[in-house]
Structures are given as C-alpha cells and as structure tokens.
C-alpha cells in the first residue's frame, strides 16, 4: 500500500497521495511547530479521516503545551464541531481538560458546554469510556501532564 507523504514548506503542507489513505503512524520531528500539526489534524478531520487524527491527537497531548499553543489545540475541537462530529469533539475536549494547561482556559469550557448542549439536544450525550474505545479514542493522558 502506498504511504502518505506530507511535505511541509514554511507554513503550508502538501499531502500525497490524494485522496488520503488511512495513516496508522506519523513520524514528527519535535521541531515541527504545533500549529502545523494541528492544521494537518484539521485537514484530516475535514477529509473524514478520524483514525489518522486520533494518532495526531495522541502525539499532541505528549508535547509540552505553551499558552500560545492553546488556540491551535482548540481549533481541532472547532473543526469537529464544524463537521458535526459532536461525540468526538466532546471526547477530545475531555482529553484536553485533563491537561494542566487547559484546566483554566475559559474557551475550553465554553466549547465543552456548547458541545454538551448540542449532544443533549440531539439526545446522544455520551460519557462512557466503552464508547470512547469504540471510537478509537482514549481519555488517558501521559503522566507528564497530570
């Protein structure tokens, strides 16, 4: 099976082959800016490749997160909302809420409230670890952020 090639040039990236196949791992140099990784995640969300996004999210939660990076992480939640992936958005925000950086971030809690409201209105609110597993997400975070 052909591999996915992502080429970064300054602040943009090119994805080959198109359309994207399932990506089961990423090799990301620590020097790659968080904003580039989150933009790739957002692109994959909009292309309907959630499994690949989960791998990027796992990578992102292991990085040291600065206050300047918080908006980029929250843009992933906004992308889930924009694509009507409310359950996944909720689980992603739940993961972020476990990271020390996001505990006091009002935008995190605003997006969490908005997502919970939408899920409640749809009658599909889920706060069940078994469902997270079925969606390919985990709500555990590395000890370095606990």
Q: Tell whether 41 is covered by a domain.
A: yes
- Residue-wise pLDDT tens digits, 4-16: 556 555 555 666 5
Percent of the chain with pLDDT over 70: 66
The rounded distance, in Å, linking the Cα atoms of 52 and 71 is: 21
- Both tokens assigned to 90: 């909720």
Q: Tell whether 53 is covered by a domain.
A: yes
Is the CB of residue 54 less than 8 Å from the CB of residue 88? no
User: How many domains, the chain?
Assistant: 1
Write down the pLDDT at residue 27. Answer: 77
Q: Which domain holds residue 138?
A: 29-145
**Would you tell me how many other CB atoms lie within 10 Å of the CB of residue 11?**
9
Percent of the chain with pLDDT over 90: 27
Query: Residue 118: phi, psi to the nearest 5?
Result: -60, -45
Q: Tell whether 92 is covered by a domain.
A: yes
Write down the pLDDT at residue 124. Answer: 62
**Would you tell me how many other CB atoms lie within 10 Å of the CB of residue 119?**
17
Q: What is the CATH number of the domain that holds 105?
A: 1.25.40
- Residue-wise pLDDT tens digits, 69-128: 999 999 999 999 999 999 999 999 999 988 888 888 899 989 998 998 888 877 765 555
Q: Tell whether 60 is covered by a domain.
A: yes
Beta bridge partners of 15: 6
Q: Tell whether 23 is covered by a domain.
A: no
- Residue-wise pLDDT tens digits, 39-70: 989 988 988 877 788 888 988 999 999 999 99
Write down the pLDDT at residue 70. Answer: 94
**pTM confidence score:** 0.74
Q: Tell whether 18 is covered by a domain.
A: no
Q: Tell whether 98 is covered by a domain.
A: yes
Grouping H, G, I as helix, E, B as strand and the rest as coil, residue 6 is strand
Q: Tell whether 125 is covered by a domain.
A: yes
Is the CB of residue 41 less than 8 Å from the CB of residue 60? yes
């Amino acid at each position: 099976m052909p591999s996915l090639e992502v080429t970064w040039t300054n602040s943009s990236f090119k994805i080959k082959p198109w359309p994207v196949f399932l990506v089961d791992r990423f090799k990301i140099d620590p020097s790659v800016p968080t904003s580039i990784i989150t933009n790739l995640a957002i692109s994959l969300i909009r292309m309907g490749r959630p499994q690949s996004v989960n791998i990027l999210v796992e990578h992102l939660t292991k990085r040291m997160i600065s206050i300047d990076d918080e908006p980029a992480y929250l843009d992933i939640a906004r992308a889930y909302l924009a694509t009507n992936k409310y359950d996944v958005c909720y689980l992603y925000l739940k993961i972020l809420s476990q990271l020390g950086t996001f505990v006091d971030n009002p935008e995190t809690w605003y997006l969490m409230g908005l997502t919970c409201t939408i899920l409640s209105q749809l009658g599909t609110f889920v706060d069940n670890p078994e469902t997270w597993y079925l969606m390919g997400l985990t709500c555990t975070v590395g000890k370095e952020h606990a």
